[in-house]
Amino acid sequence: MQLVENLKWRYATKNFDASKKVSQQDIDYIKEAVQLSASSYGLQPYKILEIKNSELRKELKPLCWNQSQITDASHLFIFCNYVSVNDKNVDELILLKAKTSGLEADNFNGYGEFVKGKLKEKSATETFHWSAKQTYIALSNALNACAELQIDSTPMEGFEANKVNEILQLTKQGLHASVLLAIGYRDNEDDAQYSKKVRKPIDTIFKEL
């Protein structure tokens, strides 16, 4: 029941109080929530960048429609999906599964071959979009964790991804900026916090068949 109340509380914060910082303890909690996110095949084909450098955030701001959250939020995260997913990524997952379970990697070879086969069925474009979708599952957990901690958050798609990729040299790392997340504490003058949450009725969203 508390999750629903937390979701009623949160909103996409337009103006952050730049003087207020999120504690490291809370950041670690949010990161763990992201780490525990579900992902297809358990591959987690993404990397999340924590942009701490204030000058870098200023450089990124014009590429993000000059939105104030980029520089004023306590923390800024960029969720980056893998541009491609290959056999090496699957092998790394199998080794991790073996280490975590205390078993030999051979015990998971069948699963590994299955995943490799399914990935090969996708075109390069399909794989790219599939991995990008995985970042949104992780993003959702981050938003929920923030709401639980009464930390404000704003997911952001309003940015020039290719230019962000260029500044952060993501392409050469096989990464692509998928979605941004600014977190911190709302400015008292942020009018958006007083707006009623607008959502479609449940019986409009859901349909029974």
* Residue appearing with tokens 């450089």: 59
**What is the pLDDT at residue 130?**
98
Label residue 74 by pLDDT band (50, 70, 90). very high
User: Domain ranges in the chain?
Assistant: 2-83+129-205
The topology under which CATH files domain 2-83+129-205 is: NADH Oxidase (3.40.109)
pLDDT higher than threshold 80 for residue 29? yes
Which residues are CB-contacts of 109 (< 8 A; sequence separation ≥ 6)? 94
Rounded CA gap, 74 and 190, in Å?
Answer: 16
**What is the pLDDT at residue 68?**
98
The helix (H) or strand (E) run that includes residue 93 is helix 87-101
Mean per-residue pLDDT, 111-130 = 98
DSSP string, 32-72: HHHHT---GGG---EEEEE---HHHHHHHGGGGTT-THHHH
**What is the pLDDT at residue 119?**
98
**What is the pLDDT at residue 71?**
98
Average pLDDT, the chain: 98
Mean per-residue pLDDT, 40-52 = 98
Total-model pTM: 0.96
